[in-house]
């Protein structure tokens, strides 16, 4: 029984902790999209570790981590992360695999990302800016360079030709400096020495693993509302963060995905630009940011904070076919007297109960709130649903009702142990997936 864990909001939902918690029950953890724009924070041996590209499963001995064809790989970022794992005693030998079909982020992609943002001016996306978008542009434009292409570094080979053409295009765009394509190829040749032993056909690897009865967890990055097709376009990332991305981003059939678990914060956050109907721009938003330590794991940017948007999460339940939710950071709400849940939007005199596809319309939406009582006492570290204050239980039940999916897991703190595994049917299903 395989499991896909993904973000049900705008990213940063706390997937790192949930993936880390569930990993011991899986043999393989596979990333299917995004790049080092992601930031999964995990705590190990009392130390905080932020992983950007490598699945956090790497911290669990015996677990194989696979970076799928749908991911864009910056070799510099990859090996800097591998090197950071060494002092933690993490040995990646034979445990970290990279798809031969994954596209590479090259130095000019990072530059083009910055340039594109500057050109957009006030309409900027607020990218991370790690070259993610331009690398995917080259992939879709059929001029990208894939990991497997590094096997032929000859000056007239397909890789050198692609880099030469792409660097020439970059030099035409960037007026005040000239990049040498030979230097890019030389750097790639150095990375290839370390990359070569990690390269696999991810589809074949997973097909064999699944046939052998090994359990696979598919790890999404970013979140549903940042998905290139289903998110708040154009304020999105450049890949499919939704469950379907697991099939295309790894080369597996959709039926292999199994259970789909959406991770959602007990409130809402977003980094970067784009509409966020429940955003709190007053001191209440500031309070959420401080108590939730809402600063980007990759860029350190302050996250925009607001109330739980059940319309957005209900949408995530639909487009991902979520079986269940993991609700994180409940404890951040402990001090609030009252809480709001957005159950619909008001837009141009109409009440909308579904996410509009038009981002301009979405940006004009104001939330319709339902007010619930706060609980006014700490929930941090609580591990049993019955031990939560009555108001907190009521809050969770209401989130489930309006989102349309059961909360199988509730996180009450950053530690692995600060977790409630609910005793209901979906948990039993998830428990089967988790080998419990």
Shortest Å, Cβ 126 to ligand IMP? 4
Comparing CB distances to ligand IMP, the nearer of 38 and 179 is 38
Shortest Å, Cβ 240 to ligand IMP? 12
Comparing CB distances to ligand IMP, the nearer of 72 and 162 is 72
Q: Which ranges constitute the DSSP H helices of 292-389?
A: 310-320, 359-363
Comparing CB distances to ligand IMP, the nearer of 222 and 259 is 222
Shortest Å, Cβ 231 to ligand IMP? 8
Q: Which tokens belong to 372?
A: 């619930």
- Among this protein's residues, is 40 annotated catalytic? yes
Catalytic one of 12, 74, 100, 323: 12
Residues that bind ligand IMP (CB under 6 A): 11-12, 37-39, 125-128, 130, 132-133, 221-222, 226, 235, 237-238, 271-272
> In b/e form, how buried is each residue of 168-181, taking b as 16+ CB within 10 angstroms?
eebeeeeeeeebeb
Comparing CB distances to ligand IMP, the nearer of 11 and 144 is 11
N residues, the chain: 436
Contact 270, 303 (CB under 8 A): yes
Could you give the CA distance from residue 297 to residue 49 in angstroms, rounded to a whole number?
10
Residue whose Cβ sits closest to ligand IMP: 272
Q: Which tokens belong to 427?
A: 């948990």
Could you give the CA distance from residue 278 to residue 366 in angstroms, rounded to a whole number?
8
Could you give the CA distance from residue 323 to residue 231 in angstroms, rounded to a whole number?
20
Shortest Å, Cβ 324 to ligand IMP? 22
Contact 34, 239 (CB under 8 A): yes
Contact 333, 306 (CB under 8 A): no
Catalytic one of 36, 40, 103, 109: 40
Question: In a 3-state reduction of DSSP, which class is residue 2?
Answer: coil
Shortest Å, Cβ 221 to ligand IMP? 6
Shortest Å, Cβ 74 to ligand IMP? 12
Could you give the CA distance from residue 75 to residue 84 in angstroms, rounded to a whole number?
14
Comparing CB distances to ligand IMP, the nearer of 222 and 419 is 222
Comparing CB distances to ligand IMP, the nearer of 25 and 130 is 130
Q: Which tokens belong to 22?
A: 């569930």
First to last CA, the chain: 12
Contact 158, 149 (CB under 8 A): yes
Could you give the CA distance from residue 116 to residue 184 in angstroms, rounded to a whole number?
21
Helix or strand (DSSP H, E) at 421: strand 419-421
Looking at the annotation, which residues are catalytic?
Answer: 12, 40
């Amino acid at each position: 029984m395989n499991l896909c864990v993904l973000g049900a909001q705008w990213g940063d939902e706390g997937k790192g902790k949930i993936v880390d918690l569930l990993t011991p029950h899986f043999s393989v953890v596979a990333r299917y999209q995004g790049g080092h724009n992601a930031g999964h924070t995990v705590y190990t041996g009392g130390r905080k570790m932020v992983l950007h590209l490598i699945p956090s499963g790497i911290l669990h001995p015996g677990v194989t981590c696979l970076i799928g064809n749908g991911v864009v790989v910056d070799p510099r970022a990859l090996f800097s992360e591998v090197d950071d794992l060494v002092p933690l005693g993490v040995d990646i030998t034979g445990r970290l695999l990279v798809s031969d079909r994954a596209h590479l982020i090259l130095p000019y992609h990072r530059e083009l990302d910055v340039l594109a943002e500057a050109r957009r001016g006030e309409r900027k996306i607020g990218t991370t800016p790690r070259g993610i978008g331009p690398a995917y542009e080259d992939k879709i434009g059929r001029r990208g360079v894939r990991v497997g292409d590094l096997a032929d570094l000859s000056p007239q080979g397909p890789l050198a030709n692609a880099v030469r053409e792409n660097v020439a295009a970059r030099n035409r765009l960037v007026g005040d400096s000239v990049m040498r394509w030979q230097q890019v190829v030389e750097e790639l040749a150095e990375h290839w020495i370390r990359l070569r032993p990690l390269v696999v056909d991810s589809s074949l690897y997973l097909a064999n693993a699944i046939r052998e009865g090994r359990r696979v967890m598919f790890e999404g990055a970013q979140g549903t509302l940042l998905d290139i097709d289903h998110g708040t376009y154009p304020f999105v990332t450049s890949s499919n963060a939704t469950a379907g991305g697991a099939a295309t981003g790894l080369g597996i059939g959709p039926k292999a995905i199994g259970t789909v678990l959406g991770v959602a914060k007990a409130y809402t956050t977003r980094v970067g630009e784009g509409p966020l109907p429940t955003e709190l721009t007053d001191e209440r938003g500031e309070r959420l940011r401080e108590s939730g330590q809402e600063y980007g794991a990759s860029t350190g940017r302050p996250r925009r904070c607001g109330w739980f948007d059940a319309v957005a999460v209900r949408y995530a339940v639909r487009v991902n076919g979520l079986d269940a939710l993991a609700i994180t950071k409940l404890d951040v709400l402990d001090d609030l007297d009252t809480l709001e849940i957005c159950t619909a939007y008001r837009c141009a005199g109409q009440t909308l109960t579904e996410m509009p596809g038009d981002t301009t319309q979405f940006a004009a939406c104001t939330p319709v709130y339902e007010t619930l009582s706060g609980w006014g006492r700490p929930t941090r570290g609580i591990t049993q649903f019955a031990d939560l204050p009555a108001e907190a239980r009521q809050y969770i039940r209401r989130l489930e009702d309006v989102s349309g999916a059961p909360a199988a897991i509730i996180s009450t703190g950053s530690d692995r142990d600060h977790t409630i595994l609910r005793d209901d049917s979906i948990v039993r299903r998830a428990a089967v997936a988790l080998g419990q």
